[in-house]
Amino acid sequence: MKQKSCYIDLFSGCGGLALGLHNAGWQGTFAIEKSADAFSTLKFNLIDKKNNFKWPDWLPKTNHDINNIIANYSNELKALRGKISLIAGGPPCQGFSMAGRRREDDERNKLIDSYIQFIKLVEPEILFFENVKGFTIGFKKDNKRGEAYSVYVVSQLEKLGYDVKGQIIDFSEYGVPQKRQRYILVGTKRGKADYFFDSIVQNRAKFFKSKKLNDKTSLSDAISDILQSNGSVDSPDSKNFKAGVYSEASSNYQKLMRKGIKPSDSVVDSHRFANHKEDIVERFNYVIKHGKPNKSFSDELKKIYGLKKHTVVPLCEKSCTPTLTTHPDDYIHYSEPRILTVREYARIQSFPDSYEFKGKYTTGGLRRRVDVPRYTQIGNAIPPLFGEQAGLVLKDMI
């Protein structure tokens, strides 16, 4: 008998979309994520703690490469036909991102074909696909722009019998304190994909009311209760570092993020402050005082103050942030001379404080090719608050 709210999460990362779908009442079947670091975060929170996934016996409960799954379990995937309502998630976006090197020959771009092959095997009723805005822009060749990958994906899914619609969505319009524009694609075997985009806009006011949120959430709304100036203690997971503690919540968004946190829990998870040297603190103070909020420091001021980074952005207290990157030193706190912590990143991405992140905080050098530290996990995630709103509409489409 068909389980009408079962889904598979592809390229699941640390579980941002899965958490949103869980909160919307969906039941996960399994998740596929290549990174051991990201999967350990998803497993701890959504498998071990929340039991969100009814994991099949034939699939080891660990990180997987989608191509290995297709090669080794194609019969098991075919056996899921008629039992899976939704396949959610999109391939890694780094090859398409306008913020990165944007290379057409990036090996990760080939995962688009792996995604389509997976859809062919399982034949879900609905598809939900997310990628960066650059996915809709073709790569340049000889001063000519080629066909966008979004056009290719739409055509391939239409050949499989799906009605497909793709649209750029700004997550800041859905309660997330971050101006993050992403390409969202929805496909359905029955009905029209337009329904999703019409409904998610119409449902916003009701959703915000249910969460006691405003239609816009500022950075201070998100993180002012966990300022370093509120106090600090020795970090529970990092020797020779300090971690932040809670002060009284001053916004409904903060109260929502702290849901599930006990009054006795004074130390904030993954809220480790960077050990900046005195000259860096001095530079950051200068940036906060003289820079324009949410705007990168001018080349002239960078030169005067010896700032070599391409992006140095002091954040704005009263508005949402620009799109978070996976590099925490791109941004400076709006009132304190430091970079943001992992937990502040998580708050901006709408992960609740009860969601614990696993793995290293940061990494560098050659390890960047292998490790997916906490900042990167969060920077790559779909905000759970948007995922929940999407999940509610997708349930209506079954």
Whole-number pLDDT of residue 141: 55
What whole-number distance in Å separates Cα of residue 307 and Cα of residue 301? 8
| Rounded CA Rg of the chain | 21
Whole-number pLDDT of residue 218: 97
On whether both 197 and 260 belong to a single domain, the answer is no
| Average pLDDT value for residue range 312-322 | 93
Question: pLDDT tens-digit profile of 14-38?
Answer: 999 999 999 999 999 999 999 999 9
Distances (CA, A) of 28 to 31, 175, 191, 354, 381: 8, 24, 23, 20, 17
| Average pLDDT value for residue range 209-237 | 96
CATH number (domain holding residue 124): 3.40.50.150
Whole-number pLDDT of residue 1: 33
What whole-number distance in Å separates Cα of residue 375 and Cα of residue 289? 26
Q: Is residue 243 part of a domain?
A: yes
Q: Is residue 1 part of a domain?
A: no
359 has a pLDDT exceeding 80: yes
Q: How many domains does the chain have?
A: 2
Which residues, 6+ apart, have CB-to-CB distance to 320 below 8 Å? 172, 176, 177, 178, 179, 216, 217, 218, 219
Size of the chain, expressed as the number of residues it contains: 398
On whether both 44 and 108 belong to a single domain, the answer is yes
CATH number (domain holding residue 316): 3.90.120
Q: Is residue 191 part of a domain?
A: yes
What is the 3 state secondary structure string of 363-383? CCHHHHHCCCCHHHHHHCCCC
Q: Is residue 254 part of a domain?
A: yes
On whether both 172 and 229 belong to a single domain, the answer is no
Q: Is residue 376 part of a domain?
A: no
User: At 98, is the secondary structure helix, strand, or coil?
Assistant: coil
CA nearest 265: which of 286, 295, 244?
Answer: 244
Of residues 210 and 132, which shows the higher confidence score? 210
Whole-number pLDDT of residue 84: 97
346 has a pLDDT exceeding 60: yes
Question: pLDDT tens-digit profile of 127-167?
Answer: 999 998 888 765 445 555 566 888 889 999 999 999 999 99
Q: Is residue 307 part of a domain?
A: yes
On whether both 183 and 270 belong to a single domain, the answer is no
On whether both 104 and 224 belong to a single domain, the answer is no
Confidence bin at 305 (pLDDT 50/70/90): low
Q: Which domain holds residue 18?
A: 6-213+381-396
On whether both 228 and 189 belong to a single domain, the answer is no
| Average pLDDT value for residue range 337-342 | 97
Which residues, 6+ apart, have CB-to-CB distance to 373 below 8 Å? 37, 359, 360, 361, 362, 363
| Average pLDDT value for residue range 327-348 | 95
82 has a pLDDT exceeding 70: yes
On whether both 31 and 97 belong to a single domain, the answer is yes
Q: Is residue 373 part of a domain?
A: no
On whether both 37 and 122 belong to a single domain, the answer is yes
Q: Which segments within the chain are labelled E, that is strand? A: 6-10, 27-32, 86-88, 126-132, 140-141, 144-145, 163-170, 181-188, 232-234, 242-245, 267-272, 313-314, 331-332
Confidence bin at 366 (pLDDT 50/70/90): low
Strands 267-272 and 313-314, by their bridges, are unpaired
Whole-number pLDDT of residue 140: 45
CA nearest 227: which of 246, 253, 254, 255?
Answer: 246
Question: pLDDT tens-digit profile of 368-395?
Answer: 667 899 999 999 999 999 999 999 999 9
Whole-number pLDDT of residue 287: 86
- Judge contact between 242 and 234, C-beta under 8 A: yes
What whole-number distance in Å separates Cα of residue 106 and Cα of residue 108? 5
CA nearest 218: which of 334, 140, 137, 113?
Answer: 334
pTM: 0.91
Whole-number pLDDT of residue 306: 67
Whole-number pLDDT of residue 190: 87
On whether both 206 and 263 belong to a single domain, the answer is no
Strands 6-10 and 267-272, by their bridges, are unpaired
% of the chain residues with pLDDT over 70: 88
On whether both 160 and 269 belong to a single domain, the answer is no
Q: Tell me the HSE value of 199 on the side-chain side, using a 13 A CA sphere.
A: 15
On whether both 61 and 170 belong to a single domain, the answer is yes
Whole-number pLDDT of residue 35: 95
User: At 254, is the secondary structure helix, strand, or coil?
Assistant: helix
Q: Is residue 375 part of a domain?
A: no
On whether both 296 and 192 belong to a single domain, the answer is no
267 forms beta bridges with 245
